[in-house]
Chains A and B, each alone.
Chain A
Amino acid sequence: MLRTKPWTPYLYLAPVSLLMLFVFGYPLAAIFDFSMRRIRGASGPFIGLENYRQIFKDDVFQQAILHNAQLLLAVPILVLVGIVLAVLLYERVAGWRVYRTILFAPFIIAIPVIGVVFSNMLSLNGAVNELLRAIGLGFLALDWLGSAQMALWSVMAIIIWHEMGFGVVLFLARLLSLNEEIQEAARIDGAGWWQRLWYVTIPQLKDVTEFYAVVSVITMLAWVFPFVYVMTRGGPGNATQVMELYIFNFAFRNSLPGIASAVAVILFLITLALMIPLFQLRARAEMEGIE
């Protein structure tokens, strides 16, 4: 540690702290205040918990929460796909570097681009249905994003497509930091591929798996706005309505920032609750040498 005058550290911290007070501190305090006011324009009268009562009565909000919850189904899929693909890359299957580059690429591509490309590919006369018809599965062809039953699941598939590479890279980094003698010992003892995956690799990946699962839960609950906004705007009807879009619509389309702030408070509290396991897991993962 440097020996400094007592106020020197605060001087160094001042610019970044002011910036964070402006972007996080003030807004986080303000949403609690706004959520208890009937706001028109910039401010309005105090109405207690009325906004909260309103949103919980609102069908659309209930659907939004339900859809966020349904999107959580992507979490186990992401974990499974991530582990399997990472294990294959770890085994140095021929061309693994190229595969790694390809598999990680969707994570870099801008979500609006992904959204526009997939909405075209998934339309009734789009490329995906053409492909299905070509391989004799034409009976499966449907308007993937336009059908109320299918839209949310299609959005979920696209989110998985985008997020998958991150899991692969995370699991791969962990695998490469493991002691391979255990794998080798299992191999010598005659354990097959599946047995090694199930009894050796998966237990060894436990911490990263938990960490990745929590990160993915947060993603599904609070970071899906651009997918939904670009591809469906929450439709058809409210079939793909989610909390973030609900906030956006109420704040910036319907000009009801009070209602929107109440939802923002709820979303904030949800992420806050998820932070506790996240930090415990991250601390553990860090100790074990994951960057």
Chain B
Amino acid sequence: MSVREMQAAPLESVTGVARAGAPRRRIDLSVVVKQLVLLLAAMTVLLPAYFMVITPLKTQEAYALSKLGFPTQIYLGNFETALRGGRFFLWFGNSIILSVGAVALSTFFAALGAFATSRMNFRGRNVLLSVISSLMVIPPVVMLIPLFLLLTRLKMTSTYPGAILVYAGMLAPFSVYLLNNFFRTIPHEIIESALMDGASPFDILFRIMLPLSSPAMMTLITVNMLWVWNDLLIALVLLPEDGMRTLMVGITVFGSRYNADVPVSMAGMLMASVPIFLIYLFGQRYFIRGLVAGAIKG
């Protein structure tokens, strides 16, 4: 069963809990223990989030007195300081350009490639597919030195096209892998009938396969966007200029700059996290499904 189906599964069909639990009146001790374990895990997860939300609302003095306490007075000046001290809008803009550009390019190229690997016969198909799935595991740090030297020679460091090409390439193996697997599940009869109507392979890909693949596409786009958005290493190396910093590089620098002023530092972290958080709450299933499918794509 897939993660999506599991969300749809009715409670009773999966466990006997509802049936067995109803007639019993006394509180089961094991239920309490289970709740406690989950509560503890949830609190461990939420503590840093709570810290990140609560700290920016305190003045430095209030923070010095109590790190985890609720602020007695809400203070919003930290956000102002953070916005003056960091170029958040620029960093956001750069991250958006890079992730949209890289994901668009890799998705388009990967769809073309996956169409061939899933629906056409050619020599070396299986070899190609296994090479592609091994590339998914190789960490980017391994490729980074030659890429940096090459881009330097081409005068393409600190440029959008240079970084977009590299990101798109890093995403390509996973994209081909996922789309190839999905394209294979599309019934052949649909394609057959389109062929009868005189459709070209190009029509079949763009008029039939892609429209039918929208759930897989959403998953792929979500996971890949998140990958580029959250990358630190590649951005650090290939985009060294101040004006080209991504959000991840920006907040890393920001974090060490405001090392001594924790409320301002947390104000910055909070502002940087809110958009992704909202997207997660609404598109949770795409994240979960995609990351489980991608498994090794970290």
What is A's interface to B at a CB cutoff of 8 Å?
1-2, 4, 6, 8-10, 12-13, 15-17, 19-20, 22-24, 26-28, 30-31, 34, 42, 81, 84-85, 88-96, 99, 101-121, 125-127, 130-131, 161, 164-166, 169-170, 172-173, 176-177, 180, 184, 187, 193, 211, 215, 218-219, 222-223, 225-226, 229-230, 244, 247-248, 251-252, 257, 260-261, 264, 267-268, 271-272, 274-275, 278-279, 282, 289-291
* Secondary structure dominating the interface of A: helix
Residue of A nearest to B106 (CB): A19
Partner of B122, one of A10, A24, A84, A193: A10
A130 to chain B, nearest CB (A): 5
A226 to B252 alpha-carbon distance, docked (Å): 10
13 new A-B contacts at CB < 8 Å, known A2-B191, A12-B113, A19-B106:
A23-B147, A85-B38, A112-B252, A113-B273, A165-B45, A172-B6, A176-B14, A180-B14, A211-B295, A215-B295, A260-B145, A261-B145, A274-B137
Chain B residue, CB-CB nearest to A81: B41
Chain B residues 214-260 with CB under 8 Å of chain A are: 226, 229-230, 232-233, 236-237, 247-249, 251-252, 254-255
> Which residues of A are found within 8 Å of B51, using beta-carbon distances?
117, 120-121, 127
Docked-complex contact B66 and A117, CB < 8 angstroms: no
CA distance A9 to B119 in the complex (A): 9
- Distance in Å from the Cβ of A181 to the closest Cβ of chain B? 11
The reply on B287 being an interface residue by CB < 8 A is yes
Contact status B34-A91, CB under 8 Å: yes
**7 A–B contacts, CB within 8 A, in A order:** A13-B112, A15-B113, A91-B34, A102-B42, A102-B45, A118-B48, A291-B292
Tell me, yes or no, whether B173 is within 8 Å of chain A by CB: yes
With contacts A92-B15, A126-B67, A264-B141 taken as known, whether A20 is within 8 angstroms of B135 at the C-beta atoms is yes
The 8 A CB mask of B178-210 against A (1 = contact, 0 = none) is: 000000000000010001000001001000000
Q: Is the CB of A16 within 8 A of B176?
A: yes
> Please, which residues of chain A bring their CB within 8 A of the CB of B233?
225-226, 229, 244, 248
Residue in B41, B51, B52, B139 whose Cβ sees the most chain A Cβ within 10 Å: B139
Q: Are A31 and B142 in contact, CB atoms less than 8 angstroms apart?
A: yes
Instruction: With A102-B45, A225-B232, A275-B134 as known contacts, state yes or no: A110 contacts B293, CB within 8 Å.
Output: no
Taken together as a complex, chains A and B put the C-alpha atoms of A4 and B296 apart, in Å, by: 34
Q: Does B77 contact A (CB under 8 A)?
A: no
Q: Tell me whether B96 is interfacial, beta carbon within 8 Å.
A: no
Chain B nearest CB from A215 CB (Å) reads 5
Set of chain A residues within 8 Å of B78, measured between Cβ atoms: none
* Given A19-B165, A110-B229, A173-B3: A127 touches B145 (CB 8 Å cut-off): no
Which chain A residue has the least Cβ–Cβ distance from B173?
Answer: A20
Residues of B contacting A226 in the complex (Cβ-Cβ under 8 angstroms): 232-233, 248
B76 contacts chain A at the CB level, 8 A cutoff: no
Q: Is the CB of A26 within 8 A of B150?
A: yes
Bound together, the chains give a CA A118 to CA B270 distance in angstroms of: 13
Q: What residues of B have a CB within 8 angstroms of the CB of A95 in the complex?
A: 38
Residues of B within 8 A of A108 (CB): 226, 276-277, 280, 287
Q: Do the beta carbons of B17 and A275 come within 8 Å of each other?
A: no
Task: Kindly state the separation between the CA atoms of A126 and B180 in the bound complex, as whole angstroms.
Answer: 49
Q: How many residues of B contact A (CB 8 A)?
A: 113
Q: Is the CB of B141 within 8 A of A91?
A: no
| A291 CA / B178 CA spacing, docked (Å) | 10
Alpha-carbon distance A130/B237, docked complex (angstroms):
37
Whether B288 and A169, one on each chain, are in contact in the complex, defined by CB atoms closer than 8 angstroms, is yes
Of all chain B residues, the one with the shortest Cβ separation from A215 is B296
In chain B, positions 86-101 with a C-beta closer than 8 Å to chain A are none
| A234 shortest CB reach to chain B, Å | 14
The answer, yes or no, to whether B160 is at the interface (CB within 8 Å) is: no
**B6 touching A116, Cβ below 8 Å:** no
Q: Which residues of A contact B41 (CB under 8 A)?
A: 81, 85, 99, 103
B1-23 contact mask (Cβ, 8 Å, vs A): 1 or 0: 11101100101001111000000
List chain A residues, Cβ under 8 A from B295: 170, 211, 215, 282
Given contacts A31-B146, A173-B6, A268-B142, whether A113 and B272 have CB atoms under 8 Å apart is yes
B201 touches A2 (CB 8 A): yes
Shortest Cβ gap from A169 to chain B (Å): 5
Given B1, B47, B133, B248, which contacts A112 in the complex, CB threshold below 8 Å?
Answer: B248
The answer to whether B262 touches A251 (Cβ under 8 A) is: no
Asked if A34 and B252 sit within 8 Å, CB to CB, the answer is no
Complexed CA–CA distance, A104 and B277 (Å) = 12
> Which residues in A have their C-beta under 8 angstroms from that of B81?
none
Q: Cα distance A89–B263 when bound, in Å?
A: 35
